[in-house]
A and B are shown apart, each in its own frame.
Chain A
Amino acid sequence: MTTPLIELVDIEKHFGAVIALAGVSVSVNPGECHCLLGDNGAGKSTFIKTMSGVHQPTSGKILMDGKEVRFSSPRQGMEAGIATVYQDLAMIPLMSVTRNFWMGREPQKKFGPFSSFDFKKANEVTMAEMAKMGINLREPDQAVGTLSGGERQTVAIARAVYFGAKVLILDEPTSALGVRQTANVLSTVDKVRKSGIGIIFITHNVRHAMAVGDRFTVLNRGKTLGTALRGEITPDELQDLMAGGQEMASLEASLGGTV
């Protein structure tokens, strides 16, 4: 049994009187894609923000490589190797691909007492890293706004991988994408997984989860309903778990099985 890259044990998070997370436990192994499923309001967003250091857990433990850690800022989480790709906050459309790729970690070159942004190096690395992910950019200074949604997600993933992410959290990377773009993002996820990075894939789309997931955890009302390995569970069972079982089954029957 390998030590998980990151393990969250019994995480609780309260916002005043609201209990957003009431005991969530999730772990990710190297090279594994762990899908976290849940309906709106299940606590997925709070959970990833707690994992990446935006929120601090009210109680519970976070272990990285078996050692307990506490992040007081997203910066600390990033330095420890946790990278988060947010659904719509991944990229700034008005800025170029290179400027986005290096945002916050710009390479510098010294010229006397002045240091300036080393665009030559930045452009080369950006082009090379994007090519690795299967996207051939026209030029590195094109604005991110000219890329498709799937390509934007891929730039964000390539950026996280290049900067040494050990755990990559993807927040609904496919929810706003078309079929073809979704396939591209999922194949990027597969590439990243094969390089030994652990992935937490947040989604409410069971089919996307089944396509790449090694393990599945369902969140509902701030709690983990259970974790299943690939092959142990069918898409229908996952769907039922997410929606809260009974209600969904009866609703589905009345809608003639179209949901």
Chain B
Amino acid sequence: MSEAIDERVRKTSALRKALIRPELGAICGVILVFMFFLSIARDSGMFGPEGVMNWGIVSAQFAVIAVGACLLMIAGEFDLSVGSMIGFSGIIIALFSVTWGYPVWLAIIIAFVLAMAIGALNGYLVVKTGLPSFIVTLAFLYILRGMTIFIAITSTNKTIIGGVRDVTAGDPVAWLFGGKILVGFFQWLADIGLIDKYVAGNKAGQSVVEGIPMLMIWAIALVLFGHWLLTKTRFGNWIFAAGGDSQAALYVGVPVNRVKILMFMFSAFCATVFATCQVMEFGSAAADRGVLKEFEAIISVVIGGALLTGGYGSVVGAALGALIFGVVQQGLFFAGVESSLFRVFLGVILLLAVILNTYIRRMITGER
């Protein structure tokens, strides 16, 4: 009797099981995109060390904000204020460190605290009013952008604050966002001839790839953390539950509101990581940075197999979505394609990925 198996349930093969996962669409997308660029831009240097670093950094930027957007979307909410948050955090860091003379590490901490407090406010308003997060965070998209420009103009008469590099020298926290690791290793690779060196200018003799920027480390760390949190922990189960059906989750004792507010804060955290890395890299902050980043994050997440209505998705998928995004954006440049085609290409990939993902999800859940 213990061997009673419903005859109407077909045995599924291991291959089918391995294929049916939220990331499948994104994996196919990555293979497709790489095949495409390998065939049209192989000799452009896109796949040399310098080229890989080029699209790798762009992909890492997308990945950092995609992780936050992914977990939030699985918890059933959106954050459209990510782009404005990036501009805001950057200006806060530059204002405190350059204009007002505070140590850089303190300015960075203040930016994180303020951004996460605004994230918490976003989340609080969403769970308390029951309004769609689309509306609440759309309001903050405008409020934050306006406030950022206002603060920058009233305190410095400019919307771009430069000179960050002059104050970051030797600051340990600033290095965490703007530094590079494995510098010696890459110089050695250049010395033995695996990587080109600059032949002229003030960097002559140095490797063209200086090292792995901390932005990439952040991207990898955030993806690993997000993936572990979502799939391997109790809190991850709560994220799925909050987005899958918040009422059902509430009835079995999942603290849905706390989960959602924390995910809004995490989204703000990721935006601030992005902003800090960017400020350290450029040596300046601008009030108009990060425009449209919220949509790029959401697109990465959706390409990665997440469901717009919440309760389903994958951080690894979102990271692959970010990789597709970065490779396509930089690849078209390498291939010498007119850059306006980037958005066309992206729209097509988005559409294909979503259609494939919808199909996969139906197979998983048995819905028809």
Chain A residues within 8 Å of B, Cβ to Cβ = 54, 74-75, 78, 84, 86, 89-95, 99, 102-106, 108, 115-117, 119, 131, 136, 138, 143, 145-147
A84 to B250, CA, bound (A): 12
A50 to B304, CA, bound (A): 42
Contact in complex: A103, B252 (CB < 8 Å): yes
Residues on A with beta carbons closer than 8 Å to the beta carbon of B366:
143, 145-147
Contact in complex: A92, B249 (CB < 8 Å): yes
Residues on A with beta carbons closer than 8 Å to the beta carbon of B249:
92, 103-104
Contact in complex: B365, A92 (CB < 8 Å): no
Contact in complex: B367, A103 (CB < 8 Å): no
Of A74, A75, A94, the residue contacting B244 (CB under 8 A) is: A94
Contact in complex: B365, A146 (CB < 8 Å): yes
Contact in complex: A74, B364 (CB < 8 Å): no
Residues on B with beta carbons closer than 8 Å to the beta carbon of A89:
245, 247-248, 251
Contact in complex: B244, A92 (CB < 8 Å): yes
5 shortest A-B CB distances, which residue pairs?
A145-B365, A146-B366, A92-B244, A106-B234, A104-B252
Q: Say how far A100's CB is from chain B's closest CB, in angstroms.
A: 8
The segment from B4-12, B32-40, B334-342 found at the interface with A is B4-12
A125 to B46, CA, bound (A): 51
Contact in complex: A104, B4 (CB < 8 Å): no
- Who on chain A is nearest to B12 by CB? A138
Contact in complex: A117, B233 (CB < 8 Å): yes
Contact in complex: A94, B237 (CB < 8 Å): no
Contact in complex: A105, B253 (CB < 8 Å): yes
Q: Say how far B228's CB is from chain A's closest CB, in angstroms.
A: 8
A74 to B244, CA, bound (A): 19
Answer whether A117 and B253 are a contact pair too, CB < 8 Å, given A90-B248, A93-B367, A94-B307: no
Answer whether A95 and B252 are a contact pair too, CB < 8 Å, given A102-B237, A116-B232: no
Extra contacts, 15 of them, besides A92-B240, A145-B367 (Cβ < 8 A), are A75-B253, A86-B248, A89-B247, A92-B241, A92-B245, A92-B311, A95-B241, A95-B244, A104-B241, A106-B234, A117-B232, A119-B232, A136-B6, A143-B366, A146-B365
- Who on chain B is nearest to A83 by CB? B252
- Who on chain B is nearest to A102 by CB? B237
Contact in complex: A104, B254 (CB < 8 Å): yes
Answer whether A117 and B237 are a contact pair too, CB < 8 Å, given A103-B254, A104-B249, A143-B366: yes
Residues on B with beta carbons closer than 8 Å to the beta carbon of A138:
5, 9, 12
Residues on A with beta carbons closer than 8 Å to the beta carbon of B6:
136
Contact in complex: B245, A115 (CB < 8 Å): no
Q: Say how far B48's CB is from chain A's closest CB, in angstroms.
A: 39
Residues on A with beta carbons closer than 8 Å to the beta carbon of B241:
92, 95, 99, 103-104
Would you call B55 an interface residue if the criterion is a C-beta within 8 Å of the partner chain's C-beta atoms?
no
Interface size, chain B (Cβ < 8 Å): 33
Would you call B236 an interface residue if the criterion is a C-beta within 8 Å of the partner chain's C-beta atoms?
yes
Residues on B with beta carbons closer than 8 Å to the beta carbon of A104:
238, 241, 249, 252-254
A105 to B248, CA, bound (A): 14
A104 to B171, CA, bound (A): 43
Q: Say how far B269's CB is from chain A's closest CB, in angstroms.
A: 19
Of A74, A93, A136, the residue contacting B253 (CB under 8 A) is: A74
Would you call B177 an interface residue if the criterion is a C-beta within 8 Å of the partner chain's C-beta atoms?
no
A128 to B228, CA, bound (A): 27
Residues on B with beta carbons closer than 8 Å to the beta carbon of A54:
251
Would you call B140 an interface residue if the criterion is a C-beta within 8 Å of the partner chain's C-beta atoms?
no
Contact in complex: A99, B240 (CB < 8 Å): yes
Of B237, B248, B364, the residue contacting A91 (CB under 8 A) is: B248
Q: Say how far A221's CB is from chain B's closest CB, in angstroms.
A: 27
A146 to B361, CA, bound (A): 11
Would you call B112 an interface residue if the criterion is a C-beta within 8 Å of the partner chain's C-beta atoms?
no
Would you call B312 an interface residue if the criterion is a C-beta within 8 Å of the partner chain's C-beta atoms?
yes
Contact in complex: B248, A115 (CB < 8 Å): no
- Who on chain A is nearest to B4 by CB? A136
Residues on B with beta carbons closer than 8 Å to the beta carbon of A105:
252-253
A102 to B241, CA, bound (A): 11
Interface pairs (15), CB distance under 8 Å: A54-B251, A74-B253, A78-B253, A89-B247, A94-B365, A99-B237, A103-B237, A103-B241, A106-B234, A115-B234, A116-B232, A117-B236, A138-B5, A143-B365, A145-B364
Contact in complex: B5, A136 (CB < 8 Å): yes
Residues on A with beta carbons closer than 8 Å to the beta carbon of B234:
106, 108, 115-117
Residues on B with beta carbons closer than 8 Å to the beta carbon of A102:
237
A117 to B233, CA, bound (A): 4
Q: Say how far A163's CB is from chain B's closest CB, in angstroms.
A: 9
A136 to B5, CA, bound (A): 6
Q: Say how far A45's CB is from chain B's closest CB, in angstroms.
A: 13
Residues on B with beta carbons closer than 8 Å to the beta carbon of A94:
240, 244, 307, 311-312, 361, 365
Which residue, A74, A89, A108, has most C-beta atoms of chain B within 10 A?
A89
Q: For chain B residues 206-238, which have a beta carbon within 8 Å of chain A?
A: 228, 232-234, 236-238
A106 to B234, CA, bound (A): 6
A107 to B17, CA, bound (A): 25
Q: Say how far A142's CB is from chain B's closest CB, in angstroms.
A: 8
